[in-house]
Structure 1
Amino acid sequence: MPLTRKEIKEIIENEIIVDCYTDEEAETGWATYMEDNLNFPFEAEYLVRKASKPNEWKKVKIIENYTNSSNYEGGDFYLSALLEDVDMIIPVEIGELRNVEADEQTLDTLQIWKSKDKY
């Protein structure tokens, strides 16, 4: 069941940016939260852009964080997606995924991430 706005706000304020006094500290808080709360692998759909054919939504396996606390500088957070039919791993931004199939903790974490700029 999706989190409420109140629950999201409480998690952001009490777990992610608690005791953060600078943007850099907040960025570290966000990256650490994402690292600690996403459980891999999980599946989602990603719009694959093709040069010679129309773009196509494909099921991909999300296998790990591409972004982490050592390379996150604010902005987008990327995950590593495995395109199994072409045996390729690519970085995908969380906002580019749809129809995510994951455990509840991962779904909650993705929902919180998508709400981060509102609080």
Structure 2
Amino acid sequence: MTRSERDEERDERIEMEIVVDAYGREEQAMGWHVSLDDTLEFPFEARCRTEREESPLEEGETVRVVGMSSTEPTLSQQFVTIKWMDRTLGAPLEQLEPVDVGSATEQAIADWQYWLER
């Protein structure tokens, strides 16, 4: 993964709204989880942008994202719950690209992916 150019506005938003009161990695991860859960406008459609070993999704495949997963969040992985082939399962948010979503959802996902790339 290539490193993103520094985005001061995005960095400030992340620092002041998502990880502002977090002490340590676990609290930062939970800050991300809570922020994403509060901000993402469920349900929404998303396209798989890359295949991953821990996910059955294929690149280009479209799924319906219905919520945040109960999987323990980390600073390198946040999972969402998706509907896929008549099943409900968790998928890494990093793997997904939103399709025709509101600006809040688009920004939250872009912020998370920016965080991962930095």
Q: Distance in 2 between matches of 1:90 and 1:19?
A: 31
**1:43 has 2:42 as partner:** no
The offset of 1:63, in angstroms, is: 0.8
The offset of 1:19, in angstroms, is: 2.7
DSSP-derived class of the 2:75 partner: coil
Bigger Cα displacement from structure 2, 28-37 vs 91-100 = 91-100
Task: Provide the residue aligned with 1:58 in structure 2.
Answer: 61
**1:82 has 2:71 as partner:** no
Moved over 6 A (4+): none
The offset of 1:105, in angstroms, is: 0.2
The offset of 1:34, in angstroms, is: 1.1
Give the superposed CA RMSD.
2.4
- Alignment identity in percent? 25
For the pair shown, the structure with the greater C-alpha radius of gyration is 1
Task: Provide the residue aligned with 2:30 in structure 1.
Answer: 28
DSSP-derived class of the 1:106 partner: helix
Amino acid at match of 1:19: D
Q: Which runs of 5+ in 2 are unaligned?
A: 1-5
The offset of 1:49, in angstroms, is: 4.5
- Structure showing the higher strand proportion among its residues: 1
DSSP-derived class of the 2:107 partner: helix
The offset of 1:67, in angstroms, is: 4.1
Q: Which runs of 5+ in 1 are unaligned?
A: none
The offset of 1:101, in angstroms, is: 2.4
The offset of 1:94, in angstroms, is: 1.4
Shift in alpha-carbon separation, 1:98–1:19, aligned structure 2, 3 A = closer
The TM-score, its normalising length taken from structure 2, stands at: 0.75
